[in-house]
Structure 1
Amino acid sequence: MTQAPRPGSWKAKLNRSTENSFIGRELQLQAFRGVLSTPYDDRTTSIFSISGQGGIGKTTLLKQFRKITTELGQVAAYVDEGSQTNLVDNVPEALSRLALDLEKQGIECKKFQERYKVYRQKKQELEADPDAPQGFAAGMGKFIARAGIGVAKSIPGSGGVMEFVDSEGVANQAGEWTAFVARKLTNKDEVRLVQEPIEVLTPLFLEDLNRVAEKQTIVLLLDTYEQTGAFLDDWLRSLLNDRYDASLHPNCLICIAGRDLLNKNAWIEWEELIARSELEPFTEAEGRLYLASCAITQESIVQEIWRLSSGGLPVLIAMMAQGAPREVEQISDPCEDAVERFLK
């Protein structure tokens, strides 16, 4: 007997609703489409910085960017902080997610993925080793998240892997971890891979990426940047400065969405290439237009949804519209859990 397809989740339904009934953000969409349609040598914008409070529609806008990219025959790859059970908390993991997204579209990142698998395997073996120094697994993960940027102190003999180290005690512990890796791994290439994954993996990722960018524009979509920016921001600027013995092809666009715009002081060198956009809540006219796209036009219902929308927050309007209310009494006031989830 053929098993019935598994029903979609409410979150998936909400995503489809917001994707199919996208309202507003015309300026951002027009700007992105215009840049994407321009030959890369003539582009004056290469980085889009999208900001706004939780629930304002940043992720939805990135999905529209992706949709436009596909419609124009180009390529997009997306990464965010991941789920609670599968978090992305360092650069190698972020690169792997981008590579997996590209592979789903038929674009192989063979060299990078092969080396990344070795890195993951060796790292897991070391973390599970009974001889591992105390705090090795958690400590290495935190240091690797910051490694390879070249903007802070390094421990002598660590090959640049340990950064932001100020206390002698922590430095000694990090040195012990480094010595442990060198002792357990006899292959010098594997030692460097585990100790300096960003330095090793970034050029491989760029090689695969740039091969595609010779023929198509690649759009890198970096979401929830208030989380991922903690480890991606310095790495990304280092990437643009050709730190990794490889250059990011100019036929790449970078779209970054987070609670705040990119830091102007940190990004001053690239300011002329950045288009900054702070998203605002829906106007009442936009809210009405969205509700009309969901077949909700009864004035009393429209007014009640608007009243409960915290001043036009798109995610709350979408949540209430999802129930397709036909009477005011059928409108569910967004619960505290939902508000906390999107606004915290």
Structure 2
Amino acid sequence: MAQTRPSMQELIRRRTRAGFVGRGAERALFRANFATEPHDERHRFRFHVHGNAGVGKTFLLREWEQIAREQGALTARVDDSAGSLPEVLAEISRQFAAQGRRMKELDRLLAAHRERRHEAELAVLAAQAEEETGPSAGGRLAARAGVVALGMIPVAGPLAGLLDADQLAEGADRLRARVLSRLRDHEDAQLVFAPERVLTPVFLRELAEAAGTVPWVALFFDTYERTAPYLDPWLREIMTTDRHGAMPATAVVVTAGQRPADPARWGGLRDFVTDVPLATSPRRRHATCWRAGV
């Protein structure tokens, strides 16, 4: 029988992995961390990979995720396609479920968050429509400012130069009252205005339950230069404080972005965090020189 020829995709994967041979040290570093118990001083709870665009951060995270799974870890890998903390948690839950570990209560609250958020957006649109039919341009601007202040749209374009603190406060207060009038209770209000306060304790509780059934849990956050504004303070809080509950000691967090970790936030935790700067691999440098005719 004639042997089946490999597909183009398979050949590309083989060549990509062959070109990754220069990252052996990084692979060994990550693998060794699973050989140390969490109470061992050599164990690291977070790895931060950083380097210029195109240096291979995403591929390294995929390699590390495979290493983690070989060690029996439950894993999830999220990038900037998730634009908020609720979306990050939803993606983690989805990937855990695909590995047989559902986060049922978190999923319920995420569904409630989406519903309450939709109701809030409808209330905002109704308020805007009322302002648009009125004679006051200042009122219309205040309505738009309120949408901004509630965090429902970014400050961008012509609106950015027209807002001041008074307009933001006026618009936000009026719209917040409108939204709150449509919500059922305090938890619903928090699901709209501060979802992390409701979602994080449940996430940590179900993460701990999942961690009790597997040797390790590994969470990977790629394109961190884009997600750090909302993820970095959250990660710092759940990893170093008890504000929302206990983080399982067998969890390993990996972030990858173009910039080093924020020293103001992580500088005092160097004994628990490994910084992994990535430079261009020798094979990649050779290919770049070849294309440039050097």
TM-score of the pair, normalised by structure 1: 0.68
Offset of 1:304 from its aligned partner?
7.1
Distance in 2 between the 1:306 and 1:245 partners?
51
SS at match of 1:249: coil
Offset of 1:309 from its aligned partner?
6.6
Letter of the aligned partner of 1:307 in structure 2? W
1:80 aligns to what?
79
Kindly provide the CA deviation profile for residues 312-340 of structure 1, in whole angstroms up to 9, marking residues without a partner as x.
xxxxxxxxxxxxxxxxxxxxxxxxxxxxx
Kindly provide the CA deviation profile for residues 113-137 of structure 1, in whole angstroms up to 9, marking residues without a partner as x.
1100011012113213442444466
Offset of 1:100 from its aligned partner?
1.1
Letter of the aligned partner of 2:171 in structure 1? Q
Structure 2 CA distance for partners of 1:208 and 1:143, relative to 1, 3 Å: farther
Distance in 2 between the 1:274 and 1:310 partners?
40
Distance in 2 between the 1:115 and 1:13 partners?
43
Letter of the aligned partner of 2:290 in structure 1? R
Report if the CA contact (8 A) 2:218-2:251 is conserved.
yes
Larger relative contact order (CA 8 Å, sep ≥ 6): 2
Offset of 1:105 from its aligned partner?
1.1
Offset of 1:231 from its aligned partner?
0.9
Which of 35, 46, 63 does residue 33 from structure 2 map onto? 35
Which of 90, 106, 115 does residue 112 from structure 1 map onto? 106
Distance in 1 between the 2:113 and 2:287 partners?
54
CA RMSD of aligned residues (A): 3.0
Report if the CA contact (8 A) 2:200-2:244 is conserved.
no
Report if the CA contact (8 A) 1:242-1:248 is conserved.
no
1:99 aligns to what?
93
Distance in 1 between the 2:31 and 2:249 partners?
17
Structure 1 stretches (4+) deviating beyond 6 angstroms?
none
Report if the CA contact (8 A) 1:89-1:231 is conserved.
no
Letter of the aligned partner of 2:218 in structure 1? V
1:123 aligns with 2:122: no
1:90 aligns to what?
84
Equivalences for 1:1-344 in 2 at 5 Å?
Answer: 17-19=15-17, 22-42=20-40, 43-82=42-81, 88-129=82-123, 130-133=125-128, 134-135=143-144, 139-141=149-151, 167-214=165-212, 215-242=214-241, 244-283=243-282, 286-287=283-284, 306-308=289-291
Letter of the aligned partner of 1:248 in structure 2? M
Paired residues, number: 262
Offset of 1:176 from its aligned partner?
2.4
Structure 2 CA distance for partners of 1:89 and 1:310, relative to 1, 3 Å: farther
2:134 aligns to what?
none
Report if the CA contact (8 A) 2:97-2:103 is conserved.
yes
Offset of 1:307 from its aligned partner?
1.8
Structure 2 CA distance for partners of 1:178 and 1:202, relative to 1, 3 Å: same
Offset of 1:243 from its aligned partner?
5.2
Report if the CA contact (8 A) 2:222-2:256 is conserved.
yes
Letter of the aligned partner of 1:77 in structure 2? A
Report if the CA contact (8 A) 2:77-2:219 is conserved.
yes
Letter of the aligned partner of 2:166 in structure 1? E
Offset of 1:9 from its aligned partner?
10
2:133 aligns to what?
none
- Name stretches of at least 5 consecutive residues in structure 1 with no aligned partner: 1-7, 83-87, 145-165, 289-302, 312-344
Letter of the aligned partner of 2:90 in structure 1? S
- Name stretches of at least 5 consecutive residues in structure 2 with no aligned partner: 1-6, 129-142, 155-163
Distance in 1 between the 2:14 and 2:178 partners?
49
Distance in 1 between the 2:219 and 2:172 partners?
33
Report if the CA contact (8 A) 2:147-2:171 is conserved.
no
